Every structure is written in C-alpha cells, then in structure tokens.
Structure 1
Amino acid sequence: MRKASGTGRSVMRLGSLLVFAWLVVGLVAAGQRGYLTHVSQECSDFGTIAVNVVAGPLNYLGLDPKVSDCKLPQPSSSSS
C-alpha cells in the first residue's frame, strides 16, 4: 500500500478547510437574516436554514433561498 504524499494531504486539508469556511459563512448569513432567532417547529423553517447554510457565500451575492412548501411523509399505520 502506498502512503499519501504530503501534497495530497495538503490538498485534502485545504479542501476540508474551504468546505468548513463555506458552511460557516452560510451559517452567519442565516443568522444575519434572523432565521436562527425565530425558528418554529415547521419543516419549512429548518429547510430554509439548511439551504442558506449550504448556499454559503452565495447569500452575499443576492441568493436568498427559502423553502416554502415542505411535506414530510406520514408514518404508515399498521393494523394487526
């Protein structure tokens, strides 16, 4: 088995750091928009927070993703 080279590890670390920074910027943007302070128990609120975090820095370029219609599957009722 071949060990990963130092360059490969550096690229992986840089990539991980960029993904982490991207998500932190998205979390900050969601907080600035007030999505983290007025959260209800609705699926659409959690969805809006999630898509804003994933959108990351694109939030500052005018992207404001929102989830308005969110339907979770209902558990099936089993009759025994």
Structure 2
Amino acid sequence: MGRLIGILLVVWLVIGAIAAFQRGYFDDTRTNCSEASDIALTVVAGPLNYLGVNPKVTCADVDVPEPSK
C-alpha cells in the first residue's frame, strides 16, 4: 500500500512539473521570491493545474534598513 502511495505521489509531482514547464516557469534562470513560490505551488498542485487551478504568490517587498554612517 505504501508503495502505491509513493508512486502516486511521484506521478502527481511529475504532472505538476510538466504544468510548470508548460507555463514557462523554467525559462528564466534568475528568479525572485514570487516566481520561486509560483513554481513550487504549481508543482505541488499537480493535476489540479489542468482543472483550472492557477496558484500565484505575491511576496511583500521588505524594506531593509541601511546601516548608519
């Protein structure tokens, strides 16, 4: 039973990776927080991508304070 679950999990993730590839997420080698999160969510969503799920993430730009002079 555990083997079947493992096989289904791998197939699920492969389908998600194919969906991310078709959306062009792997074309650019430089990514930011939002793009990396979109890729991860698309892969995890797996076959749901083909049912209309289009996961997107927006990362808040964090203003890092500059050191005092």
Report the TM-score, using the length of structure 2 for normalisation: 0.81
- Provide the aligned C-alpha RMSD in A: 1.8
Q: Distance in 2 between matches of 1:13 and 1:19?
A: 10
- Alignment partner for residue 42 of structure 2, among 36, 52, 63? 52
Structure 1 stretches of 4+ with a deviation exceeding 4 A read: none
Structure of higher RCO (CA pairs closer than 8 Å, 6+ residues apart): 2
- Structure 1 unaligned residues grouped into runs of 5+: 1-10, 75-80
2:25 counterpart residue number: 35
* TM superposition score normalised by structure 1: 0.70
C-alpha deviations, 1:18-54, integer Å up to 9, x for none? 0000000000000000011124331111100000000
Q: Which has the larger radius of gyration?
A: 1
Where does structure 2 lack aligned partners over 5 or more consecutive residues?
Answer: 65-69
Percent sequence identity is 48
Matches within 5 A, 1:16-27: 16-27=6-17
